[in-house]
Amino acid sequence: MEDRKGDHIRHALHSQIFQDELDTRFDYEPMLGSEADSEWEPFQFLGRQLKVPMWVSSMTGGAPEAHHINHNLAKACKKFGMGMGLGSCRILLDNKRHLSDFDVREIIGDDLPLWANIGIAQLEKMMKKGEYDPLIEVVNILKADGLIIHVNPSQESLQEEGDFLHYRPLDTVKDFLSKTEIKIIVKEVGQGMGPRSLKELIKLPIEAIETASFGGTNFARLELIRRASENVSHLEPIAHIGHTAEEMVDIINELVENEKDIKCKQLIISGGIRTHLDGYYLISKSKLPAIYGQASGFLRHARESYESLEKYIEEQILGLRFSKAWLHPKFKK
Ligand SMILES: Cc1cc2nc3c(=O)[nH]c(=O)nc-3n(C[C@H](O)[C@H](O)[C@H](O)COP(=O)(O)O)c2cc1C
C-alpha cells in the first residue's frame, strides 16, 4: 500500500494528458457497467464458433520466417478462439514444398475458421484456362473452410513482376462462384474499396467481405519501397488513394439499409485497425455481423515469439472486455 501511494506521487506529474488527446468516439459510462457485462459470449461467424470478435488477416507462406509465424498465429487462434486467413497460397499451386508453412488445421483445430487465399490475377489466369482444379485441391489439402480472394490492382500495377488484369475482378469472382462450390471471401490488401465495388460485391453469394482498408499496411507503398533503387517515387500518389475502414463500414451500412438483394451477410473489418478501441468501435457500428482483423498488429509479435503474441492478444481481449462493459460508441458519419 505504501509503495503504491509512493508510486502515485512519483508518477503523477508525468501522467498528464491533454484535452485534444480525448478519443471522442465513445461515451464513457462508469456508473452503468460491471465485470459481468464485459464477457464475450461465443458466437457463430463464418459457420464456426468464435470466442472473441477477432481475425488474423492473411499474411504469409513460402517465406523463410513463414512457418514460425503461421504456426504461432494458429496456436494463438486455438487458444483464444479466433479465426485465421492464410497468406496467398499461390506457391502451393506449383509444388507442395512449402505446404507445412500453411498446414495449420491440426494446430487451430476443427472448430475455428481457417481460410486459404489467392490473388485475383492468379485466379483470372486459371479461370481463363479453365484449370482451377489445383486451387480446389489446395483448399482441400489445407482443410480450409473456403477461399479468400484478394483483389489488389494497385499493388499489381506497382510491382515490377506484377500481373495485368485483363478482366474485371467482379466477373472473375462471379465466374468462379458459378463453377465451384467453394465458399468465398473477397478482400483488398490495404487500400479498401469504394461504393460501386462494394455495391456489386455485397450482392454476390459470398460468405464475407474483408475490408482490408486504407490506413495501415499499404502494399502500393511497400512495392515502391521494394523498387527504391529505380527511383519510381513519382508513382507514390497511388499509395494515397483508397478507403478507410470507417468509410467502408458507413458505405456498407447504407447498402444494407437501401439495397434489397444483399447476399453477403458478414463483414471482417480490417486495414489500419491499430487498437482494440478501433475494432470495438467499428464492429459496433456495422449493421452486418462483424469482427475485426489485423495483419501487421499480429505480425510484429508472431515474428518475435509465441509468448509475445499471446501477451498482445491477452491485452486486446482485456481492452475489448473493458470496452464492452464501460463504453458506448457514439456513431457519427
Ligand atoms: C506481411 C504481410 C503479408 C500479406 N500478404 C497477404 C496475402 O498474401 N494475401 C492477402 O490477401 N493479404 C495479404 N496481406 C494484407 C493483409 O491481409 C491486410 O489486408 C493488410 O495488411 C491490412 O491490415 P493491417 O493494416 O492490419 O496490416 C499481407 C499483409 C502483411 C503485413
pLDDT value, residue 171: 98
Q: Mean of the pLDDT values across residues 253-279?
A: 97
Pairwise CA distance, residues 66 & 121, whole Å:
22
| Tens of pLDDT, residues 102-148 | 999 999 999 999 999 999 999 999 999 999 999 999 999 999 999 99
| Tens of pLDDT, residues 209-254 | 999 999 999 998 998 899 888 878 888 999 999 999 999 999 999 9
Query: Does residue 45 lie within any of the structural domains?
Result: no
Tell me the sheet residues that pair with 184: 147
Indicate which residue's Cα is closest to atom 7 of ligand 1: 87
Indicate which residue's Cα is closest to atom 3 of ligand 1: 59
- Residue 63 scores a pLDDT above 70: yes
Q: Which atom of ligand 1 is nearest to the CA of 187?
A: 11
Query: Does residue 8 lie within any of the structural domains?
Result: no
pLDDT value, residue 231: 79
Residue 295 CA, ligand 1 centroid: distance in Å:
5
Query: Does residue 91 lie within any of the structural domains?
Result: yes
Pocket of ligand 1 (CB under 6 A): 57-60, 87-88, 117, 148, 150, 187, 189-190, 212, 216-217, 270-273, 294-297, 299
Residue 314 CA, ligand 1 centroid: distance in Å:
22
pLDDT value, residue 303: 97
Pairwise CA distance, residues 158 & 236, whole Å:
9
pLDDT value, residue 101: 96
Mutate to test the pocket of ligand 1, among 65, 189, 292, 294 (most ligand atoms within 8 A of CB): 189
Query: Which grid coordinates belong to 42?
Result: 461465443
Query: Does residue 25 lie within any of the structural domains?
Result: no
Q: In the structure, what pLDDT confidence band is assigned to residue 307 with cuts at 50, 70 and 90?
A: very high
20 contact partners, CB below 8 Å, separation of at least 6: none
**Residue 267: CATH number of its domain:** 3.20.20.70
Residue 97 CA, ligand 1 centroid: distance in Å:
22
Q: In the predicted model, what is the mean pLDDT of the chain?
A: 95
pLDDT value, residue 233: 82
Query: Does residue 82 lie within any of the structural domains?
Result: yes
Q: Mean of the pLDDT values across residues 56-76?
A: 95
Pairwise CA distance, residues 62 & 86, whole Å:
11
pLDDT value, residue 42: 97
Residue 19 CA, ligand 1 centroid: distance in Å:
34
Q: List, in sequence order, the alpha helices (H) in the chain.
A: 2-12, 66-80, 91-94, 99-102, 105-108, 120-129, 133-141, 153-158, 169-179, 195-201, 219-226, 245-258, 276-285, 296-304, 306-326
| Tens of pLDDT, residues 316-325 | 999 999 999 9
Comparing CA positions, the residue from 205, 183, 192, 173 lying closest to residue 114 is: 183
Pairwise CA distance, residues 197 & 195, whole Å:
6
- Residue 224 burial (CB < 10 Å; 0-12/13-18/19+)? buried
Indicate which residue's Cα is closest to atom 1 of ligand 1: 59
257 contact partners, CB below 8 Å, separation of at least 6: 287
Residue 182 CA, ligand 1 centroid: distance in Å:
22
Query: Does residue 26 lie within any of the structural domains?
Result: no
Which one-letter amino acid corresponds to residue 78? K
Residue 219 CA, ligand 1 centroid: distance in Å:
8
Kindly report the three-state secondary structure assignment for every residue of 39-58.
Answer: CCCCEEECCEEECCCEEECC
User: What is the percent of the chain where pLDDT is above 70?
Assistant: 100
Mutate to test the pocket of ligand 1, among 55, 58, 91 (most ligand atoms within 8 A of CB): 58
Which of the residue ranges 71-85, 158-172, 237-251, 255-269 would you say has the lowest mean pLDDT? 158-172
Query: Does residue 258 lie within any of the structural domains?
Result: yes
Number of domains comprising the chain: 1
Q: Which atom of ligand 1 is nearest to the CA of 213?
A: 22
pLDDT value, residue 333: 63
Indicate which residue's Cα is closest to atom 5 of ligand 1: 59
- Residue 332 scores a pLDDT above 80: no
What's the domain range around 293? 51-329
Q: Is 23 left (phi over 0), alpha (psi -120 to 50) or beta?
A: beta
Against a cut of 0.85, is the pTM above it?
A: yes
Query: Does residue 236 lie within any of the structural domains?
Result: yes
Q: What is the residue whose three cell numbers read 497468406?
A: 87
- Residue 262 scores a pLDDT above 70: yes
Residue 59 CA, ligand 1 centroid: distance in Å:
5
- Residue 68 scores a pLDDT above 90: yes
